[in-house]
Amino acid sequence: MPDLIKTAAAPDETVAPAAEAAETVKADKARSLWGDAWQDLRRNWYFLISAALILVLLVITAFPGLFTSASPTTGDLVNHFLGKPELSKIGSPEWFGYDGQGRSVYARVIYGTRASVIVGVAVTLAVTLFGGLIGMLSGYFGGWVDAVLSGFTNVFLGLPFLLGAMVVLQSFTDQSIWVVVFALAFLGWTQIARVMRGAVITIKQSDFVQAARALGASTPRILFRHILPNVMAPVIVVATISLGVYISAEATLSYLGLGLASPTVSWGMDISDGASQIRVAQHILLYPSIMLSLTVLAFIMLGEAVRNALDPKTR
């Protein structure tokens, strides 16, 4: 009799562990790709450091007056190459010294953040929208549509990026921020288009897409309601990394005298001025170069962290 009681009680002892296991499996299924990615990003030092740097850059871009009261374009020749960088003068106009026209190097570094960040963000948005649309249509429809759009993409992909941007800028007399944005976006959308095309080709074979098509859902609804949310992960990764590349490209064009021009303040122009005076005033070249490097590094680190978080193979 005790054995029978023990045998009858044994199944009851497994009810609680089985229920807990079922709840665990249910909770794991409820977590989405973005939820898993956020959990990983919160523990990633690359993400935390890069996000902090980018936050500071965005604050400087929006409110440069909070960091300096000096004008970046007004100079006094009395201050010609005057002063050297001193920690005791943190935040003051003479903290980084003055350039050859008597302008505050610190003020120009602060205000130069706005042009670089605006160009990088604007170009990234433009190439993501245009390239993403081209890639999505090419991957979804296939056939002759894919052949035409892929051929169109390959033509632009074969053109050198910086050389093409130089040619485009030479055709404009105005070297404003939006002209530089157009020149960089004109040839910068091809990588996004190829990534989007590959992701759409993979996801359009999924059961939920086939079910939506069988239920009579319209093509725009299938594209923007069912496919687009599921292919954004690789596009976001590429766009984030590319943002730092576009900022570097803007500085390169400005350094060569083909990008932004006065009175716009740009790190590239300051680096160009500093390179010609490197023997007598190294600080003019040093600080814009440091800010440019930190900005590009921050966005590349952010892209790497997001890529690792969204890639299931790394988990």
CATH number, domain with residue 269:
1.10.3720.10
Q: Are 274 and 281 in contact (CB under 8 A)?
A: yes
* Secondary-structure percent of the chain, ordered helix, strand, coil, rounded to 5: 75, 0, 25
Tokens standing for residue 122: 């604007």
DSSP track, 116-130: HHHHHHHHHHHHHHH
pLDDT at site 154: 92
Q: How far apart are CA 254 and CA 272, in angstroms?
A: 8
Instruction: Answer yes or no: do 271 and 239 share one domain.
Output: yes
| 89 is a domain residue | no
Q: How many domains does the chain have?
A: 2
Copy the structure tokens of residue 168: 């485009």
| 35, 64, 131, 266, 275 from 270: Cα distances, Å | 43, 17, 32, 6, 8
**Residue 88, domain member (yes or no):** no
6 with 59, same domain: the answer is no
Is residue 221 one of the residues assigned to a domain? yes
Tell me, yes or no, whether 25 and 43 share the same domain.
no
Neighbours of 143 (CB within 10 A): 7
SS (H, E, C) 15-27: HHHHHHHHHHHHH
The answer on 281 and 269 residing in a single domain is yes
Residue 32: what pLDDT?
65
Q: Report yes or no on 142 lying in a domain.
A: yes
Residues 45 and 21 in one domain: no
pTM of the model: 0.81
Residue 82 is assigned to a structural domain of this protein: no
Same-domain check for residues 10 and 140: no
23 and 53, same domain (yes or no)? no
Residues 17 and 37 both lie in one domain:
no
Contact call for residues 184 and 167 (beta carbons, < 8 A) = no
Q: How many CB atoms lie within 10 A of CB 74?
A: 11
Whether 233 is covered by a domain: the verdict is: yes
101 part of a folded domain = no
**Distance separating the N- and C-terminal Cα atoms of the chain:** 51
Point out the residues of the chain with pLDDT beneath 50. 1-2, 4-19, 21-30
Statement to judge: residues 199 and 310 lie in one domain: yes
| pLDDT on residue 314 | 53
Task: Specify if 94 maps to a domain.
Answer: no
pLDDT of residue 73: 84
**Residues 70, 10 within the same domain:** no
Quote the domain boundaries for residue 25: 1-30
307 and 202 part of one domain: yes
- Please indicate, yes or no, whether residues 37 and 145 belong to a single structural domain of this protein: yes
